[in-house]
Structure 1
Amino acid sequence: MPQSAQPNTQQAALWNDASGKAWVEMQPILDGVLAPFERLVVDAGYPGEGSNVLDIGCGAGATTLAMARRIGDGGRCVGLDISQPLVTLAAERARADKVANASFEVGDAQAYAFESGHFDAVVSRFGVMFFEDPVAAFTNIRQAARRGGKLAFVAWRSPVENDFMTTAARAAAPFLPPAPAPDPEAPGQFAFADGARVKRILEASGWSSIKVEQVDVQCRITEANLMKYATRLGPVGAALREVDQATAEKIITVLPAAFAPFVVAGEARFNAACWLATALA
């Protein structure tokens, strides 16, 4: 599948450098936290044994590998991600786990020159909220699916509904320069917070039988891994890579107390508020 011009240059730079490297480092922890969504997406998008499936924003490959196992040796699951470090790790995992019907490619789904009508299903676990032009992206993705092919993805709902995900940023805010109010529709973790907007995007890009359903999933992370999670990822992880040592120490000091309300019996437990979007090509 040849590659055409890339529109999402800022995201490419981010995920091929600091963010991508952080996700590589955190892969075992993140796969544990997000495991319930892996099962959710595979169940919703499963097109049958022996099918061809595309995983958008595959990251380190957990969902791709799970779907490849589910569809069996007669099918193939292709993981696509803009991050070379994550794709490299995903391919290494497929080899190590001997999942021969999973493969991985570096690319931007908004501009990728897919073979038309090749895939029986397209899935994504939190990989579709980062496009500069989501209508163009989902139009291109639809053309990769056969007529009647499935689409199934999960995306985060609002920051207000995901207080665990914003705890570190709120705790760190007093020690950082004031930040402008974010554009709620800008590419990023919460770009699909508005479920009505998600439906409009899918309608405008030609999908049918669209459903955008609320899903609340209970997630957990061990207390031993919690501070690593809080300081490596997201806006706080990015800030800690830039601030001076004194400021970094102040932020790191306040984080345990900020997360304390979530900790029970040695692990942080939290509700993950998401959308499960499904449609047909």
Structure 2
Amino acid sequence: MTAINEDQKTFWNGQGGETWVSGQEEMDRFLAPFSDELMVHAAPQAGEHVLDIGCGTGETSLRAAEAVGADGAVHGVDISVPMLELAKARAAAAGLSQARFSVGDAQSDALGEPVDLVISRFGVMFFENPVTAFGNIRAHVRPGGRMVFACWQPVRENEWVHVGLGIAKKHVEFPPPPDPYAPGPFAFADIERTLGLLTEAGWRNAKASPFAAKLNQGETARDGAEGLMLRGPISRALAEASEAQKAAVLHDLTEALEAKIIDGAVRLDAAIWIVSADA
């Protein structure tokens, strides 16, 4: 196991997974426009079998389970045990016995029986070797099946990222920028490269549709700032910051978000790609 892969598993089974679990309702609200758009494009049908890569706490898996009905099946896979435990509890509470969840690495692990549809909401950008990973996923899709996933457009198109990043960098030292194609939230932002990776992995008819929305970051500027610091892209850098540094970031970020309140909530611009391909 490489250092990058080990780092991802450690993070999502520790701080990353725990903070997501504690803020599950907030995160699902924040990402709701993208979950909606993903499901429109994926359009799971009654009776279909669906694989959800990087399913997290289960939001998209549960939506798919409702769509496929009792005659269908949904298998959610993730590397985060705490997130999967919450996903299982949510499925049980909703009476969706057709949804099951398991720990797995889509890059290399066996992913169960062949499916009709693969979906992912921001769960595929962390692959160390995307071609190998997408090849493994394709091997678990029936002939004629399809894949639809959401990935982020570049940082410059995502205010929810650069507003906090710009402020945090004034108070906290950040490491040098990583390789833009390294595993991470924006690894697939270069959409032409991403479509090329899918083609190289054996997928057909790869294409992408842009989608933009204003995300609900909370009712108050303080709520929004705290959420970005706890679960946003600056959270890992702030984990090692002093209390004085965190207080300074919170103050400045809260002040900046005051100007972003629209109709009773902090609303920040965000943009993604909806990518689809055929097996």
Relative distance call for 1:9 and 1:47 in structure 2 (3 A) is same
CA RMSD of aligned residues (A): 1.6
Alignment of 1:233 with 2:264, yes or no, is no
Of residues 35, 38, 49, the one that matches 1:38 is 35
Matches within 5 A, 1:209-220: 209-220=205-216
- Residue 177 in 1 paired to residue 160 in 2? no
Partner of 1:269: 267
| 2:107–2:133 CA contact under 8 A, matched in 1 | yes
Displacement after TM superposition at 1:257 (Å): 1.6
| Corresponding residue pairs, total | 276
CA distance in 2, matches of 1:84, 1:212: 31
Task: Identify which range, 37-46 or 194-203, moves more after superposition.
Answer: 37-46
Q: Which residue of 2 aligns with 1:141?
A: 137
Query: What residue identity is the alignment partner of 1:257?
Result: E
CA drift at 1:264: 1.8
Shift of 1:69: 0.1
Q: 1:235 to 1:39 in 2, by over 3 A?
A: closer
Q: Which residue of 1 aligns with 2:253?
A: 255
User: Which one of the candidate residues 86, 89, 97 is aligned to 2:86?
Assistant: 89
After superposition, where does 1:111-122 map in structure 2 within 5 Å? 111-115=108-112, 118-122=114-118
Identity %: 38
Q: CA deviation at 1:67?
A: 0.4
Contact 1:79 1:103 (8 Å CA) reproduced = yes
- Kindly indicate whether the alpha-carbon contact (under 8 Å) linking 1:168 and 1:255 is maintained by their aligned counterparts in 2: yes
1:149-186 deviations in whole A, cap 9, x for unaligned? Answer: 01000100000011222211211101112431221101
Q: Post-superposition shift, 1:221?
A: 2.9
Match of 2:161 among 162, 165, 185: 165
Shift of 1:47: 4.1
* 226-235 vs 168-177, greater mean Cα deviation: 226-235
Quote the Cα distance in structure 2 between the aligned partners of 1:257 and 1:276: 33
In 1, the alpha carbon distance for the partners of 2:16 and 2:212 equals: 26
State the partner residue of 2:98: 101
Tell whether 2:146 aligns with 1:150. yes
Q: Which residue of 2 aligns with 1:221?
A: 217
What are the ranges of 5 or more consecutive residues in structure 1 without an aligned counterpart?
A: none
Unmatched segments (≥5 aa) in structure 2: none
Q: Could you report, residue by residue, the CA deviation over 1:35-89 in whole angstroms, capped at 9, with x for unpaired residues?
A: 1222222222234210100000001100000000011100011111111110011
Match of 1:62 in 2: 59
1:47–1:150 CA contact under 8 A, matched in 2: no
Paired position in structure 1 for 2:122: 126
Secondary structure of 2:157's partner? coil
